[in-house]
Amino acid sequence: MLLLSLATIFTLVVLLGSGVWIAFALIGTAWVALQFFSPFDPGPILASDFWGASYGWDLTALPMFIWMGEILFRSGLADNMFRGLSPWLNRLPGRLLHTNIIGSGMFAAVCGSSAATCATVGKMTLPELERRGYDSNMAIGTLASASTLGLLIPPSIVLIVYGVVTEQSITRLFMAGIGPGLMILAMFMTYLVLWALLKGNRNGLTGADESGMSFVEKLRNTWSLVPILLLIGGIIVSIYGGLASPTEAAAVGVVLSMVIAHFNGHFNRDIFTSSLFAAVRTACMIAFIIAGASFLTSAMGFTQVPMQLARTIGEMGLSPTMLLVALTVLLLIMGCFLDGISLILLVTAIIMPVVSAAGFDLIWFGIYLVIVVEMSQITPPVGFNLFVIQGLTGKDIVTITKATLPFFLLMLLAIAFMHLFPEIALYLPQALNR
């Protein structure tokens, strides 16, 4: 088992390090494992897994939610969030910096993509915050960190992928993501309030006071939030009201985003075409990675590496807490080199027997895994959100990473809370079964 494990890890590291597409790296690793360490022919297994991974009904929601996010990104609907939120945040310590957190949470609820949330909200808020004199490092930190919630707050593309490959209910996963998502948002906002109170308003660290707007003007600006709230409400009601499955709700979201963008005056043939092709490209990439991960999962099953790994860890006598600590360290290291979906697929292909043997609830573990993936989005050298922020601001990666460090630590604290109080994630899914 040791030789096979080393060969598998070596092959995967070499392929990923050489710049090979992630899907090909997963396929190549599985092929080596089957060809040299098992009596099975890799060809038929590859064909069967690719076919089996390509027609899952739940997977249909993936391109639809991606398309919805592309429409929002291109139609300018997300620009309304800043205008609608800013009048109500002037009395809160930290003032308009909270728009990064709340705006990211709202956009995450209709997008499902961390990078799209970061880019869309960042284009809207960063120039405005800079113009108003807010601390640039805190603006960057709040944006890069809060936009990772696009992976957790439903509808989440990553949760769909996890649900498909682990055969867990996507509806229950979506419900499980609500509590932790709101908790992390509250932790971010609490930290920002404490930071603002400690810093005060000297040197423009928390921006100028803009509370002179009348109540009627605030209501008028808030009206710009209505389209996005309607979109969020339409998706949530259709899923949790039993009117539609997550797949059907994704189609509802696409239609609603088109209708709202049309009446908002920012939808035309070019936006339709460009958003559709962008969604197809992204969805095909993810589907290819899923197929490669499916092949790797089968290869690991035929070589019995996960089962032996689970047996070895079981013999070590690690408590669930120590196992969780070890997994978190391992996943954070892996997350420095893999994107979120690839990390999810690689983990589910290798360590799920270990997780099951330790007695973790797979719905709870899915939320835990997504939070760790969120953390990997703001860790170099492959932190996608760091690259997005760098493109928006021109700042170096070291500066951006330092700005996100407090929020990274808050996510670690959120994992500890979830471990101590699993009901944070499991209360709503369990209520669904009553």
- What pLDDT is recorded for position 203? 41
Task: Kindly give the residue spans of alpha helices, DSSP state H, lying in 147-214.
Answer: 157-166, 170-199
Q: Which two tokens stand for residue 116?
A: 């799209």
Q: In the predicted model, is pLDDT for residue 42 greater than 50?
A: yes
Tens-digit pLDDT profile for residues 80-122: 666 777 777 777 787 778 888 887 877 777 666 676 677 767 7
Q: Are 221 and 156 in contact (CB under 8 A)?
A: no
pLDDT recorded at residue 132: 74
Residue 143 pLDDT more than 60? Answer: yes
Beta bridge partners of 134: 206
* Mean pLDDT score, 341-355: 74
Q: Give residue 204's pLDDT band: very low, low, confident or very high (50, 70, 90).
A: very low
pLDDT of residue 343: 74
pLDDT > 90 fraction of the chain, expressed in percent and rounded? 11
pLDDT bucket at 149, cuts 50 / 70 / 90: confident
Q: Where are the domains of the chain?
A: 2-11+18-37+56-432
Q: What are the tens digits of pLDDT across the range 227-240?
A: 777 877 777 777 76
Tens of pLDDT, residue by residue over 425-434, are 999 888 866 6
Distance of CA 174 to the CA centre of its chain: 12
CA trace torsion 14, 15, 20, 23 (10° rounding): -150
- pTM of the entire predicted model: 0.72
Q: Cα torsion at 170, 373, 301, 19 (round to 10°)? A: 120
Choose between 179 and 22: higher pLDDT. Answer: 179
Task: Quick: pLDDT tens for 358-378.
Answer: 788 999 999 999 898 888 778
pLDDT of residue 211: 55
Q: Cα separation of 247 and 62, whole Å?
A: 8
Of 18-27, 89-98, 335-344, 391-400, where does mean pLDDT reach its minimum? 335-344
Q: What are phi and psi of 318, to 5 degrees?
A: -70, 135
Predicted pLDDT at 180: 93
Residue type, 210: E
Q: Which of these ranges, 131-140, 277-286, 307-316, has the smallest mean pLDDT?
A: 307-316
Residue 396 has pLDDT above 50, yes or no: yes
Mean pLDDT score, 10-29:
76
Q: What is the pLDDT of residue 418?
A: 94
- 210 pLDDT more than 60: no
Whether 351 shows a pLDDT value over 60: the answer reads: yes
- Mean pLDDT of all residues in 312-324: 75
Chain mean pLDDT for the chain: 78
Per-residue pLDDT tens over the stretch 292-309: 777 877 777 777 665 666
